Amino acid sequence: MRQPRPVGFAAPYVLAGLYRDGEGVKRNLALAQSWLTKAAAQGDVAAQTMLASLLETGDGVPKDVPRAVTLYKAAAARGHVAAMVALSRLYLNGQGVAHDGVQALVWATTALSTFPAGMPDAIPKDVIEAGVTAKKPLSPADIETANHVAVVCVQTHYRLCDVRPAQTAKSD
């Protein structure tokens, strides 16, 4: 069962969204980053993911892909599907992490199995087909490994989601 959010928990995230989008206030991505950092520090997975997205793209804030990866991993470990999709894309493209088609497929498969029923269109097709679109096509053994790790990932509530280094060497 989830812990209830303390009163005011969402306020930094909401303020960040307003500043990021310029809704009712002048658009200010530095202030959005500041509020997202506060919300992320409180454990808000949506804030962690939004902050990671800003840091990944460098949209109005200093680009910091390694920190973005850390934030995406923290949010994914708590079941945030958008963070899982982002991780899959980063591993697929080798952006901020070593290229790893197997790990990309793990996160794509985990996201699909976690995503609310009837809404799979929100996950980009290239992420879903990670094994097909990876820089180096995955072998049937790699795909089997990714599917197994994805099942374990969901069963362990996102604690065991990384492919072991010995297994990733096959796909490099």
What token pair was written down for 34? 């500041």
Q: Count the Cβ atoms, other than its own, within 10 Å of residue 30.
A: 10
pLDDT, mean of residues 43-56: 94
What's the CATH fold of domain 9-76? 1.25.40
* Residues in contact with 124: Cβ distance below 8 Å, sequence separation at least 6, in sequence order: 85, 89
* Residues in contact with 129: Cβ distance below 8 Å, sequence separation at least 6, in sequence order: none
pLDDT tens digits along 100-127: 888 988 998 888 887 765 455 555 565 5
* Residues in contact with 122: Cβ distance below 8 Å, sequence separation at least 6, in sequence order: 115
Question: Could you tell me what percent of the chain has a pLDDT over 70?
Answer: 77
Comparing C-alpha atoms, which of 169, 64, 170, 81 is closest to residue 127? 81
Count of CA atoms in the C-beta half-sphere (13 A) of 8: 2
Domain map (residue ranges) of the chain: 9-76, 80-172
Q: How confident is the model at residue 171 (pLDDT cuts 50, 70, 90)?
A: very low
pLDDT tens digits along 10-46: 788 888 889 989 999 999 999 999 999 999 998 999 9
